[in-house]
Copies of this chain bind each other. A is one copy, B any other.
């Protein structure tokens, strides 16, 4: 799974080798389920890469309301940025048991300086994160509960498929309904009702902890899911115009 790192960007064998080496030499960290990885206000000195497990980024209001602002799946970069910033404006926490590796910030900087294709790839990664965040804004702002959940499922499926963790319209789904509530901005009770609705319409169903997208085309259609915002499918295609 390690080498899927920035795999969904466009890289050659050489760059993949460099990444592999970086991951191999980096320190591995293990977190149990539901553990804080990084809390608001802290100033981490390292960069982190997800190897296994699910985690999420969340923000909190003074009165306790919480909003998940994004998920981390295997292969994702956790904090492409934070080492520079004045302090975390949000928190990171694992959802399942999680494996990640830590790379010193300046070591990573060196690596970027030494290879411009890698540098571009990580820029790209950052931009995709931005694009995802915009799509979430649209999701929360304009879509109804039913569409929101459908859209989230489509996104997760697509992203997991990319790293080989989803195929045949199904995948391991470790989130609780309360988790989904936090991510979609609807109440846990209503998430439940909406899932029933999805089930009754033969769009999705759960078999144990596996989520099955029974009719993925119709699901994408009701969710108005357009995978372009994930900016995938350019593996091997070079981003050079100059």
Which of A54-62, A153-161, A190-198, A201-209 is found at the contact surface with chain B? Answer: A54-62
Given contacts A67-B142, A81-B123, A130-B129, contact A86 B185 (CB under 8 A): no
Q: A69 — which chain B residues lie within 8 A by C-beta?
A: 134, 137-138
Encode A49-84 as 1/0 by CB contact (under 8 A) with B: 000000001010111011101100000000001011
Contact of A137 among B137, B142, B234, B239 (CB under 8 A): B137
Residue of A87, A184, A242 ringed by the most chain B CB atoms within 10 A:
A242
Closest B residue, CB atoms, query A131:
B89
Q: Which of chain B's residues have a CB closer than 8 A to the CB of A117?
A: none
Contacts of A13 in B (CB 8 A): none
Question: How many copies of this protein are present in the complex?
Answer: 2
Q: Which residues of B sit under 8 angstroms from A86, Cβ to Cβ?
A: 228, 231, 234
Q: Quick check: B141 and A67 within 8 Å, CB to CB?
A: yes
Contact of A140 among B63, B127, B185 (CB under 8 A): B185
Measured CA separation A85–B127 after assembly (Å): 8
Q: Determine if A124 is an interface residue (Cβ-Cβ < 8 Å).
A: yes
Interchain nearest-CB distance for A135 vs B (Å): 7
On chain B, the residues within 8 Å of A109 by CB distance are 242
Q: Which residues of A contact B (CB under 8 A)?
A: 45, 57, 59, 61-63, 65-67, 69-70, 81, 83-87, 89-90, 105-106, 109, 120, 123-124, 126-127, 129-131, 133-138, 140-143, 184-185, 224, 226, 228-229, 231, 234, 239, 241-242
Indicate which residue in B57, B143, B228 contacts A87 across the interface (CB closer than 8 Å): B228
**Contact between B224 and A63 (Cβ–Cβ < 8 Å)?**
yes
- Which chain B positions have C-beta within 8 A of A234? 86
Q: Are B123 and A84 in contact (CB under 8 A)?
A: yes
Contacts of A66 in B (CB 8 A): 142
- 14 residue pairs of the A-B complex, CB under 8 angstroms, read A45-B241, A57-B134, A59-B138, A61-B224, A69-B134, A70-B134, A81-B123, A84-B120, A84-B123, A84-B124, A85-B131, A89-B131, A89-B135, A126-B130
